[in-house]
Amino acid sequence: MIKQDTRTRRTPKKSYHHDGLREAVLEKTLLFLRDHPVQDLSMREIARDLGVSHMAPYRHFASKEDILAALIENGFRQLTAKFQESDQKGTLIYPETFYAHVKAYVQFFLKNPDVARLMFTSGYFDKGDFTGVHDAGHDAFSCLTRLVQRGQKEGFIGETQNLYMVSFMIWSSVHGASVLIFEKQFQEIDQAPDVDVGAFTRFLAEKLLLGFSSAKSQGAGQDLATD
Amino acid sequence: MIKQDTRTRRTPKKSYHHDGLREAVLEKTLLFLRDHPVQDLSMREIARDLGVSHMAPYRHFASKEDILAALIENGFRQLTAKFQESDQKGTLIYPETFYAHVKAYVQFFLKNPDVARLMFTSGYFDKGDFTGVHDAGHDAFSCLTRLVQRGQKEGFIGETQNLYMVSFMIWSSVHGASVLIFEKQFQEIDQAPDVDVGAFTRFLAEKLLLGFSSAKSQGAGQDLATD
DNA sequence: AACTCAAAGTTGACACTGTCTACATCCGCT
DNA sequence: AGCGGATGTAGACAGTGTCAACTTTGAGTT
């Protein structure tokens, strides 16, 4: 964490160069998103807050969207790191490593709600530009499929079940829970007895694994979602 | 597009009053959102398309956000209706009624991706204004808890499990899946053999029910998400 | 049939936005 | 020393959401 604040120097010379503007912009943007919706984000306001002309940020980002894309890519990389972290805790085996992954995901959302909202809310990035975002997301998902494969080998997940379906369902469930929790929709039930985020997360992970432990139903039923 | 024909003067009162502007605005907005991200939405452009002055829509909506709120509320009401529909198909019993609900949810997302994205993506509506949106969302969730209660009575869901945790986990999973599917993240695995949206939806519903069928683990473990 | 008056639509203004273009300044390199 | 690319600035432009004051409309009441 290199925390070199150039603006609190002994001589606060209004220097032409900001020297670290790129990170400063990202930081300020994130700060702004803490208590404002993304659609209220203003490049000019960020620049103003940083004591810099309204066009200065454009030396580091092609557009406003590009800034958000950078934040999102960072987010996915952090998430991947968190996954790998819970893998390398060393002695963790199934089912604990599974729980650890789920916990990591939910915690990431709770600790970085603003980035998380961006990551899965965007809709900006369908166009195929922003390949960095796409790749980072793909990497994170790969952690999950590896986790499932390990679970299959260790006998906690039925081997006959489609690897991608299982992975995707886990991703879906944990993701959905995270989204609803940090979108404040969890409050609806939060006041019920014996219910809180921690307990629910554990409940979620256990039930998921339980559902996969038996390979009785194969999920090859008739089309359920087609018209 | 200009209909100045005197013979059609009866109904198409192309004059000062639009007479139905509110619905027209909602419709055009929805149409726009079909192929544009919400942040590109322009009130003035909508008004222009409708051949009306740029302030005319403001006679029917307090603000731009208000229009989106109206669409979202509509969405939740439609979703609730779809739930009730799959309940009143008559002879449906567990587990079919459960599958029907899951199917209804996913289908709703697939058929109304733009509204759905708005519904769960907004972040606008935390402030407590837009109570209409909040209430409509609550109603939809209630359908789910009733479904779970029925499942408990019919022996498909362990009765010792917390009603709200089960409901919330179902909501989370199905919601997460829907989000990821229509955010195009499903394509990642869509090309795997024997995997498509329909098959996956069924798989999801079956595994969920399977996880809940046994009440062995109670989900009262130690806090998994707190620091 | 004339009058009223709120609802519905219009026009013009204002402050603000993102981004284009041309220009100014800085700093590391030869 | 001075060149050149990287970085920051200033001004302009089209476009936005929304406020305020105006005009038109048409259904009811007299």
| Digit-coded pLDDT (tens) for B136-175 | 888 888 898 899 999 999 999 999 998 888 988 998 898 8
Average pLDDT over residues B122-128: 52
**CB-nearest partner of B37 from A117, A123, A172:** A123
Q: Residue B141: its chain A contacts at CB < 8 A? A: 185, 188
In angstroms, the separation between the Cα of residue A11 and the nearest Cα of chain B is: 41
As a rounded value in angstroms, the CA-to-C1' distance for B73 and D27 is 32
**How far apart, in whole angstroms, are the C-alpha atoms of residue A137 and residue A133?**
6
Lowest average pLDDT, out of B17-31, B55-69, B184-198, goes to B184-198
**Of B187, B67, B196, B116, which is closest to residue A219 (Cα–Cα)?**
B196
Q: Which amino acid is at B133?
A: V
Q: Residue B33: its chain A contacts at CB < 8 A? A: none
Report the nucleotide nearest the CA of residue A47, measured to C1': D8
Asked if A53 CB < 7 A from strand C, the reply is: no
**CB-nearest partner of B176 from A172, A202, A223:** A172
Minimal-distance CA residue of chain A relative to B189:
A164
Asked if B25 CB < 7 A from strand C, the reply is: no
Dihedral, CA of residue A53, residue A58, residue A60 and residue A61, to nearest 10: 140
Which residues, in sequence order, are CB contacts of A52 under 8 Å at separation 6+? Answer: A18, A21
Q: Is A49 left (phi over 0), alpha (psi -120 to 50) or beta?
A: alpha
Average pLDDT over residues B25-44: 93
pLDDT at B66: 92
Which residues, in sequence order, are CB contacts of B72 under 8 Å at separation 6+? Answer: B115, B118, B119, B122, B125, B133, B136
**How far apart, in whole angstroms, are the C-alpha atoms of residue A4 and residue B177?**
43
Structure tokens at A74: 């960072």
Which residues, in sequence order, are CB contacts of A88 under 8 Å at separation 6+? Answer: none
Average pLDDT over residues B8-15: 40
Q: Which residues touch strand D (CB under 7 A)?
A: A 16-19, 21, 52-56, 58-60; B 13, 15-17, 41-45, 54-55, 58, 63-65
Question: Does residue B89 have a pLDDT over 70?
Answer: no
pLDDT in tens, A89-137: 656 788 999 999 999 998 998 899 889 888 877 655 444 567 888 888 8
Instruction: Give yes or no for B55 touching A (CB within 8 A).
Output: no
User: Which nucleotides in chain C lie less than 7 Å from some protein C-beta?
Assistant: 7-13, 16-22, 25-27
Q: Which of residues 185-204 of B touch A (CB under 8 A)?
A: 185-186, 188-189, 192, 194-204
Q: What single string gives the DSSP state of each residue in A11-63? A: S----S--SSHHHHHHHHHHHHHHHS-GGG--HHHHHHHTTS-TTGGGGT-SS
pLDDT at B32: 95
pLDDT at B79: 93
Task: Write down the pTM of the prediction.
Answer: 0.79
Asked if B50 CB < 7 A from strand C, the reply is: no
Question: Does residue A221 have a pLDDT over 70?
Answer: no
pLDDT in tens, A199-212: 889 999 999 999 99
Report the nucleotide nearest the CA of residue A54, measured to C1': D9
Count of residues making up chain A: 227
Cα end-to-end distance, chain A, whole Å: 53
CB environment B16-48: b (16+ within 10 A), e (fewer): eebeebeebbbebbeebbeeebbeebebeebbe
**CB-nearest partner of A195 from B164, B171, B201:** B164
Structure tokens at A199: 């307990």
Minimal-distance CA residue of chain B relative to A33:
B123
Which residues, in sequence order, are CB contacts of B83 under 8 Å at separation 6+? Answer: B101, B104, B105, B140, B143, B144, B147
pLDDT at A7: 35
